[in-house]
Structure 1
Amino acid sequence: MTLSVTFSIVATVVQGCGASPDHGAATASAPGDGKVSQQGPPGRETDTSRSPAAPSEAPEGRETAAKPARSAPPPKPLPRSPATKLSIPALSLEAPVVGLPLDPAGHPGTPPISKPKLVGWHGDGPTPGEKGTALAVGHRDTLTGPAVFLNISMLRPGNTVRVTRADRRTAVFTVDAVRTYQKKSFPDKEVYGARGRPELRLITCGGRFDKKAGYAANVVVFAHLTDVVKV
């Protein structure tokens, strides 16, 4: 089953995101298995690289040319292996991942409302790091307060998402874009379609909140595989 068929209907992602009177509050959550930190606005990941040293003076009459930096080749797609943990350094977020089946109609679901710190990976689609587009969903908030994906809209291109797999390898994804789509005009192919390389989508609720209808939109984080680390 391909993603373009599996995820042809996306409204269920919005309906299952949960809602609470404090749906926009960035209050601190109690520590637990998910290690979710929501205290204060998250920042970008710190660039620990040092500025290059000034070049030494060249001998008189001789020109120097800077050597172009070599970009590392993209990692090869990984074999299939279930995801077990997801972390986002820029948000100080670390959470367990559980597999989610599709319902009989082929619609994607979400983790139980009673477990707001869980990230759900759709097990009928590609595993994170495998060729194709892997999908991870999480609640923005629930009736008990903030949930695991409360702040993913604050991610920026260049931030990373690390997914630990059952085969003891961590697939590292680099964020390309963060976008918000209205539920009524959600672009299925753009979000779920395969692009010839291992990619990842993080999805949660967004937009305006209505007590009866819930959230009006989805926040989608687009990322692609840039590294593989052995645990």
Structure 2
Amino acid sequence: MAGPVPGTSRLLRAGMGAAAVGLLLIYNSVDTVPADGSVPGQAAPPAATAAAVPGGAAPSGAGAPAAPVEAAPPLKRAKPTRLRIPQINVDAPFTELALNPAGQLDAPPPDDKNLVGWYRDGVSPGERGAAVVAGHVDTTKGPAVFLLLSLMLPGNKVEVQRADGTVAVFVVDAVETFAKDAFPDQRVYGRTPDAQLRLITCGGTYDKKRRDYLDNVVVFAHLESSRPA
């Protein structure tokens, strides 16, 4: 796997456990996000915590999914530029997610319904590890990019166009819903021996008092192939 983004600290090589808590909240409904766009309530993950240390054993606790039998060789690092999921009519550009001055992970902008976010200091889609892509299920403007994410099925294809001129093609392995207060951090964000992808949004019941959905929908996918864009 390619190393962390140049200039990042040694903290980038930390284990996955700290990553999940901060990453989880970027998938809240937009009306839970403060006016400054930051993610409330939790510290952000260290940069590249989504980028697992290659060759190491999975952290203690529930392990990440086993490597798919037909996984393609990992690709070199490259920024994702566009996400396409034909089965749910997704064709959306990427924005990079970073840390704000308070050390929290920014959420995708709430004023764009057709936008997905990628944590820029983590694994890029196609690299070895579990790349994380976030999208809103809705915004104050109406249904958003990942509205139908929970309807995806094993075998569906996910295409990520990359800045190096390649398209990484992923195949869905599973679609699961987890309560936010019982989110399986290690399973979602844990180390993987191959290139995998996690698509995450909100789901379940919307709690008006908390101004948040109670669950997260997670799509697990593995890299099947790549091709020129």
User: Unpaired runs of 5+ in structure 1?
Assistant: 21-71
Q: Which amino acid aligns with 1:220?
A: V
Which of residues 193, 197, 201 in structure 2 aligns to 1:200? Answer: 197
The count of corresponding residues between Structure 1 and Structure 2 is 179
Give, in whole Å, the separation in 2 of the partners of 1:92 and 1:207: 21
The range that moved more, 96-105 or 122-131, is 96-105
Residues 85/228 of structure 1: CA separation in 2 closer, same or farther (3 Å cut): same
Q: Which has the larger radius of gyration?
A: 1
- Partners of 1:7 and 1:107 within 8 A in 2: no
Residues 74/100 of structure 1: CA separation in 2 closer, same or farther (3 Å cut): same
TM-score by length of 2: 0.73
Q: Which has the higher helix share?
A: 2
Give, in whole Å, the separation in 2 of the partners of 1:86 and 1:75: 19
Q: CA RMSD in A?
A: 2.1
Give, in whole Å, the separation in 1 of the partners of 2:222 and 2:162: 16
Could you list the per-position Cα deviations for residues 139-158 of structure 1 after superposition, in whole angstroms to 9, with x for gaps in the alignment? 00011100000001000000
Could you list the per-position Cα deviations for residues 165-210 of structure 1 after superposition, in whole angstroms to 9, with x for gaps in the alignment? 0001000000000011101011110001121000000000011102
TM-score by length of 1: 0.72
User: Unpaired runs of 5+ in structure 2?
Assistant: 1-11, 33-68
Task: Please state how far the C-alpha of 1:115 moved relative to its aligned partner.
Answer: 1.3
1:73-88 → structure 2 map (5 Å cutoff): 74-88=71-85
Which of residues 66, 71, 93 in structure 1 aligns to 2:90? Answer: 93
Residues 105/180 of structure 1: CA separation in 2 closer, same or farther (3 Å cut): farther
Aligned to 2:16, what secondary structure does the other structure show? helix
Q: Which amino acid aligns with 1:12?
A: L
Identity %: 45
Give, in whole Å, the separation in 2 of the partners of 1:95 and 1:156: 20
Give, in whole Å, the separation in 1 of the partners of 2:130 and 2:156: 18
1:38-117 → structure 2 map (5 Å cutoff): 74-103=71-100, 107-117=104-114
